[in-house]
């Protein structure tokens, strides 16, 4: 009987080992620097673990990835390890280094390329250490040398591709995290086209370290027209994460553009989006059911427009220092939109209704700037011309609780202000004509069956 139990335990152990999840671990083997200190901080250095991805048929490292990093296959990782070793080194909200931990690439003899031999995490964990201030000093010294050698840098052959594909068969990179690390610092505009061919993209990225001076040499995250949502959740490219801190997308580089994707962060302390740096734009976005807030910041000089933010347990859009135009925010646990402390925020054509707190809230000091034609339920909307609705929000105003398209009789229809370009296309990419509506959707009446029959007969 004892032998039978022992055999059963051995079989269970073997079965568990076979079923355990392996991971691809992406490791930078050389330092990436920039001419400015701020951009250098956002670029990975030798020994940084850039990304960790589960091994499955859709995550096999691409050819470009194999030319960029050392990629090893590792077993024995748990969620806490993945979160720990892919976090940046932060001082409050300021990034001190791309990663807080580094792996000793010399001790493990790690080189650029793919190594498919499985390594147990316990055999390499001792080669991972926490960075110190001495590491930061060493980076600074090496950056000085980069100043001297920069004019003679040779661009990688595949770096000339300014558009990269994500989350599809034959993709350039498996995640936005990998794309951002490979492409920050390359010349010209760098665009990530995200697809939904392989389902939900489980990822979270900080876009930081790219040197942009305007919208011709910036970082762009988008979806091609055939992959875009139609203003209703679950109809387009869906980016989500369920563990770790922070936002799904954090734009820390100037002039970053995030558009045409759905963001849902189910991590307990996670937010959907952070537009933190001058010139960053979020547009045509669906941001909903995040772990905390929908949008955690609209920085000075940043713009969020023609987007829907709803059903977040915290605040829909918080720390508003920039511009919010033609946005609909609804059913958030706290306020719908909250101006940042001592901020001058421009908020126009915004719907904020059905929230647990004030529809439009304010932090200490500041003012609403150029704000007008906003709609609320509680009288908090800023501006000389506002609308306070008493309509039922899911049967008269919106199409439903998860579809914020306007109904024909909604108080927001024909109640907005013409803001001109670039705000003149709504969440469905429909051009706004005539009198503008308040919110992300420009109501377009459906053609009646009778009308269609008359047209056919004619």
Cα gap 327→306, rounded to integer Å:
5
Answer yes or no: is pLDDT of 13 > 50: no
Q: Detail the DSSP E strand segments found in 370-437.
A: 374-376, 386-388, 398-400, 403-406
pTM, rounded to two decimals: 0.91
- DSSP-derived letter for residue 240 is E
Quick one: average pLDDT of 202-206?
94
Model confidence over 422-443: pLDDT tens digits?
Answer: 999 999 999 999 999 999 999 9
Chain length of the chain = 458
- By three-state DSSP, how is residue 19 classified? helix
Can you read off the two tokens belonging to residue 56? 């499955």
- DSSP-derived letter for residue 437 is P
Can you read off the two tokens belonging to residue 344? 């001058």
Do 255 and 216 touch, CB atoms closer than 8 A? no
Tell me how far CA of residue 309 lies from CA of 158, 316, 327, in angstroms.
37, 6, 8
Helix ranges, 166-317 (H): 176-183
- Bigger pLDDT: 415 or 186? 415
Can you read off the two tokens belonging to residue 418? 């013409």
Do 430 and 420 touch, CB atoms closer than 8 A? no
Q: Which residue in 55, 57, 63 sits closest to 25, CA to CA?
A: 55
Do 246 and 268 touch, CB atoms closer than 8 A? no
Quick one: average pLDDT of 20-38?
93
Model confidence over 323-357: pLDDT tens digits?
Answer: 999 999 999 999 999 999 999 999 999 999 999 99
| Average model confidence (pLDDT) across the chain | 90
Model confidence over 77-89: pLDDT tens digits?
Answer: 999 999 999 999 9
Confidence of residue 447 (pLDDT cuts 50, 70, 90): very low
Do 184 and 208 touch, CB atoms closer than 8 A? yes
Model confidence over 388-401: pLDDT tens digits?
Answer: 999 999 999 999 99
Confidence of residue 17 (pLDDT cuts 50, 70, 90): very low
At the second CATH level, the architecture of 165-449 is: 3 Solenoid (2.160)
Domain boundaries, the chain: 21-152, 165-449
């Amino acid at each position: 009987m004892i032998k039978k139990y022992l055999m059963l335990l051995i079989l269970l152990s073997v079965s568990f080992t076979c079923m355990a999840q392996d991971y691809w671990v992406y490791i930078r083997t050389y330092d990436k620097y920039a001419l400015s200190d701020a951009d250098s901080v956002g670029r990975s250095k030798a020994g940084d673990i850039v990304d960790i991805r589960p091994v499955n048929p859709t995550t096999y490292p691409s050819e470009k990835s194999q030319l960029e990093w050392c990629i090893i296959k590792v077993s024995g990782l748990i969620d806490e390890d993945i979160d720990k070793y892919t976090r940046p080194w932060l001082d409050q909200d300021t990034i001190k280094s791309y990663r807080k931990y580094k792996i000793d690439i010399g001790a493990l003899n790690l080189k650029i390329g793919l190594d498919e031999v499985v390594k147990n995490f316990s055999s390499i964990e001792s080669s991972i250490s926490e960075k110190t201030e001495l590491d930061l000093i060493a980076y600074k010294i090496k950056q000085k040398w980069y100043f001297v050698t920069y004019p003679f840098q040779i661009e990688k052959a595949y770096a000339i591709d300014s558009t990269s594909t994500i989350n599809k068969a034959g993709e350039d990179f498996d995640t936005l995290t990998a794309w951002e690390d490979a492409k920050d610092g390359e010349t010209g505009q760098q665009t990530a086209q995200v697809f939904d061919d392989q389902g939900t993209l489980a990822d979270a990225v900080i876009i930081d370290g790219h040197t942009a001076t305007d919208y011709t040499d910036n970082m762009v995250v988008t979806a091609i027209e055939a992959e875009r949502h139609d203003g209703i959740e679950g109809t387009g490219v869906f980016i989500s994460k369920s563990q770790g801190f922070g936002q799904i997308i954090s734009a820390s580089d100037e002039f970053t553009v995030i558009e045409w994707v759905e963001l849902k962060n189910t991590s307990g302390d996670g937010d959907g989006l952070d537009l933190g740096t001058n010139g960053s734009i979020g547009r045509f976005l669906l941001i909903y059911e995040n772990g905390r807030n929908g949008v955690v910041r609209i920085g000075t000089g940043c713009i969020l427009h023609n987007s829907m933010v709803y059903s977040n347990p915290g605040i829909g859009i918080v720390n508003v220092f920039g511009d919010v135009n033609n946005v609909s925010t609804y059913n958030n646990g706290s306020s719908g939109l909250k101006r940042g402390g001592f901020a001058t925020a421009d908020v126009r054509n915004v719907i904020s209704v059905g929230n647990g707190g004030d529809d439009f809230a304010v932090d200490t000091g500041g003012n609403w700037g150029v704000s007008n034609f906003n709609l609320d339920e509680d009288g908090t909307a800023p501006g000389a011309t506002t609308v306070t609705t008493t309509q039922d929000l899911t049967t008269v105003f919106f199409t439903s609780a998860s579809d914020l398209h306007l109904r024909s009789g909604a108080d927001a229809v024909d109640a907005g202000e013409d803001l001109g370009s670039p705000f003149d296309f709504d969440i469905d990419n429909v051009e706004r004509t005539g009198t503008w509506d308040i919110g992300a959707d420009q109501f377009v009446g459906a053609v009646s069956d009778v009308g269609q029959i008359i047209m056919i007969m004619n």
